[in-house]
Structure 1
């Protein structure tokens, strides 16, 4: 079994790099870390980077997960190859680009590009200093598109160490540590990252963001609201190339692995929000 330690980063292609970076820093509140050629690295916490925008196809997405040891990375490569997943070993140039010692890449059953990294760089002691004070505490989870959530749930829970916390319809919310979920698999006809979540300090940050974004004509697509699954208070808004960003706070932690029983919620607005907000997000409606 592949023991995912934490979600590490997201890479997104974009046709307009400058606009994507401007939105990420002035609207989302990420910190500009550096620009290298056609790539810009951004930070959402004290890690070296948590998001990288690059010039390319807006449908070109990559998600990186961290493994703890080199032996686990080697074992993961063998397990994936034995299961019929072609593994690409990272080159020295690729490692430098990702700021890690070693990595492998593969496609999950839906075709999402996934990277497993060993010894990713930290922030080298540099304090996270955001582009605006959005109250962000860390990059926390992603929504991932799945062409078959039942099949993909089996992959992430049998080949990897993910566990189901709850379901919304057929969409599983998956954890790899105590946090209620680090990944959610939403039905889709195509692969890709569906949304990117950053935790913020408290409810006040959610409401400040709501008014801040509305005044600047950023499209709010869901919330403010509260998830009945994780208990988190949330706000979703649309960024460059249609990417959805989420702020949330107060997410549930599951500390009793033995006795936790996943719950089934309906794939309706009530399954996503207990306050009555209705999503204007295709993945949450179709």
Structure 2
């Protein structure tokens, strides 16, 4: 049985609405779908309604992805089975989204000084979380770059002239928030951290519940390494495609990156 525990909608930096995401999951035979928008849970109820309206609709797991920072490393944390009405979590996500708006204006000023003039609408703070993908899409639409990936490589990646750091929580704060909201805290795409020693340190010192073993950034050898690490630390194994629906970014369709129910069963069944 196919599942996907890491997806994004238009409520953060994905291109599919929650409803379209659910329809695509059903069409691809994905039976369990976690919506894990960045710093936002506002797409979850629409996703649940869309799934309930389908005869073959996927089970929806309430999720979120929180961005944290450890030194120069960006560390993302996935929350599953969270209370989407938890006051503390909602307040902190609202704060983080506002920080994204401030960052957006700084990025736009930086790239304007370099000759790239685009407009990106500030997002409703109760809705989408604006970020570099929105800037990249605007740059492509204006004809400055051929693809979102090219815009990142030339201008928006860390170390490039248009990059602006984003204020973030610490991993400890994020894990505590997710637990306080009744959910699981899972270290997202550890291969993207690009520092296995740091990953081990985080897992050893912070009360994580799981690690995202199965992700497009990890080949089969890396997946085996993360699975062994999960077993060593007594953690649940999770997995998902990190689907954004962006052309040129793998996977461009749901179901292409296959995650099996049996491999992530403990995360899915946590609150059954």
- After TM superposition, the score normalised by the length of structure 2 is 0.32
Tell me which protein shows more helix as a share of its residues.
2
- After TM superposition, the score normalised by the length of structure 1 is 0.30
Tell me which protein shows more strand as a share of its residues.
1
